[in-house]
Structure 1
Amino acid sequence: MSSGTYGSDEVGALVIDIGSHTFRAGYAGEETPKFDFPSYIGVIDEQQQSPASSSTVQDGSGDTSQQPPPPPPPSQPQKRYIFDMNKIRVPQNGLYMQTFLKEQMIDDWDLFEQAMTNAFDCLCEKDHGSSYHPIVMSEPPINQRAKREKLCEIMFEKFQIPAFYLAKNAVLSSFAQAKATALILDCGATHTTAVPVHEGMVFQKAIVQSPLGGDFILNQCKQLLDGLNYEIVPHYLIKSKEVVRQYEQPKWTKRTNLPENITDSYKKFMTKEILQDFAQTVLQISDTPYNESEISQLPRVNYEFPNGLSLDFGEERYRIPEGLFNPSIVKGQFSSILDLVHLITNSVNMCDPDIRSALYGSITIVGGNSYFLGFTERLHRELSHILPQTMRMKVQIPPSLSERRFSSWIGGSILASLGSFHQMWISKQEYDESGKFIVDRKCP
Structure 2
Amino acid sequence: MKSPNEVLSVSQLNRQVGEYLSSSFPQLWVSGEISNFTSAASGHWYFTLKDDRASVRAVMFRGRAQAVGFTPRVGEKLEIRAGVTLYEARGEYQLQVELMRRAGRGDLHAAFLALKDKLVADGLCDAARKRSIAPVPVTVGVITSLAAAALRDVLTAMSRRAPHVRVVIYPAAVQGAEAAGQLRAALANAIERNEVQTLLLVRGGGSLEDLWSFNDEALARMVAASPIPIISGVGHETDFTLVDFVADLRAPTPTAAAELACEARTSCLAQVRSLVQAMRAQQQRQLTLSALRLDRAVGRLISPAQRLAAQRTHLRQVVQGMRRSLTQLTRQRAQLLMRLSQQLTRALPEIGPRQRALEALQRRLEQAWARQVDQRHARLISAEQTLRALSPQHVLDRGYAIVMDAQGGLVRNALDLQSGDPLSLRLSRGSAQVEVLQVTADAPEVPSQE
TM class by shorter chain equals under 0.3
Give TM-score scaled by structure 1 length.
0.22
Larger relative contact order (Cα-Cα within 8 Å, sequence gap ≥ 6) = 1
Give TM-score scaled by structure 2 length.
0.22
Greater share of residues in helix: 2
